[in-house]
Chains A and B, each alone.
Chain A
């Protein structure tokens, strides 16, 4: 029974929504797609957030209780959560001087100050780490092991030059040389890194992306149908 009810629900709703996609009457557009679906998601989302926060507390609490390695960080996480939540929701909106307000999430609130001066730089730092990681990953991965790898390597180098002003400068310099040396051939064209980069992005990149997208789309349809028809039951946890 615990398995049958979800399967029946999934099948019924799956079929209804499949047909709803092909109808354009207000029942399918406004009621099924907007009222039911959007609101359902909101309700489920709200409860899921409650569960998630509980999970977060639980995990941190267990780690602190066990004094697991690095449990200081768990303290920081919990304190951070309580502090931010209380500034945003609990504390009153009182002026505390210097144009700041204690509670609330307005632009001049303490919450916003912490957000802009602690959260923003921390997250920006995480993102900027990407530059370092890309450098080291590229250094390790781009080796001319075979023809394909070599092609990839050359393409990467061209795109990297073509994406920055340097590419334009090289092309301009080479065009200058071209006008003096063998002007009847436009051999400087091979130094048009920006143009070549654009071509790479527009043609081979798009072609490969589309090929993958076709496969992904088929896979997506198959996965949905597997779930709707109850062939796949892993999402229920295991088979019957």
Chain B
């Protein structure tokens, strides 16, 4: 009897300890989960983005802070990567949370760099790294092959964006490449450049005025991007044929949220300006938004880590999301186990009390 009574009152520290073990084990041993059938709401969002055409623009809004970074970064990275793959143009913004400003940039920048290095420059890099001059530079400075690839990508990007600061930092490499006409070999059109293929605004205070203003004129409302450059100078906002002027030119807005931002964006983006809205939210608050998917106000939604895993499966780019699926499976099983144990204890002791 005593044992069953103990079952109803297991010290919570035991629960914590087992939980920590169960979550950490798959991550540390790199066990990956697989998903065969991604959830409906994720597929909806994926299909919407997948059907967009080249040079359509998507806006990503980052309304989270470092605390929910672990849960929301995998999905925002997956969507960014997908957009790059589809040759969509990306606009990043943190409309509500100041902390989202830096995080959003990190997400977009990392994916752009990754895409540029792994997809656009792949054959070019393989060729250039083996060229004698670069080899010499690499050996004298003792830089690994991986790092030199990253460095070259950075320099090429800086060259095309005419980013003087970055060129200054990598002056030596830049000079070698310029002298030997190595830049011309890279394909500028396919390259993802800031200002042409993506733009990042950072945190802009005054949510409602920003939203209302963007419905009319984005360059006038935002004025400067994250680095303080007037965005009207960017090709994305001043090109004659395909400039982005207002919300009307944005095919979809996707909000990554840890707070109430989806509700606010529904009000402005969807209701007021009639633009499609997608969402990526933490699992704790996801249940709130299923009604909006049903009513069509949300195009689709990624629900927590599972949503990220779904999206990674859909774009065939396994990452952190799928990695965490194993942890989540074991954690859920552990909770179910504890619930069952608690109930066994409860039912047995209750019967005993009744007798």
Contact = CB atoms under 8 A, between A and B. Distances in A.
Complex contact flag A–B (Cβ < 8 Å): yes
B25 interface: no
Interface stretch (B85-93, B243-251, B282-290): B282-290
A236 interface: no
A194 B37 contact: yes
Given A157-B339, A160-B332, A165-B36, A131 B19 contact: yes
Contacts, number: 136
Interface string B304-342: 001000000000000000000100110111111011001
Contact of B10 (A34, A39, A139): A139
A124 B67 contact: yes
Interface stretch (B53-61, B118-126, B204-212, B273-281): B204-212
A163 B338 contact: no
Instruction: Categorize the interface residue count of chain A.
Output: 35 or more
Interface in A144-176: 144-145, 153, 156-157, 160-161, 163-166, 168, 172
A215 interface: no
A163 B306 contact: yes
A49 B316 CA distance: 46
A201 B66 contact: no
A120 B290 contact: no
A85 interface: no
Nearest to B23: A131
Contact of A115 (B70, B102, B336): B102
Interface string B1-43: 0000000001010011001100100000000011111011000
10 contacts: A34-B209, A38-B212, A119-B66, A126-B67, A128-B70, A131-B19, A138-B335, A165-B35, A165-B329, A209-B288
Given A33-B212, A132-B19, A157-B339, 20 more contacts: A33-B208, A38-B208, A107-B105, A115-B102, A116-B102, A121-B66, A127-B68, A127-B70, A131-B19, A131-B23, A135-B338, A153-B339, A153-B343, A156-B339, A164-B325, A194-B39, A198-B39, A202-B290, A205-B290, A209-B288
Considering the complex of A and B, which 3 residue pairs feature the smallest CB-CB distances, nearest first? A123-B67, A38-B209, A120-B66
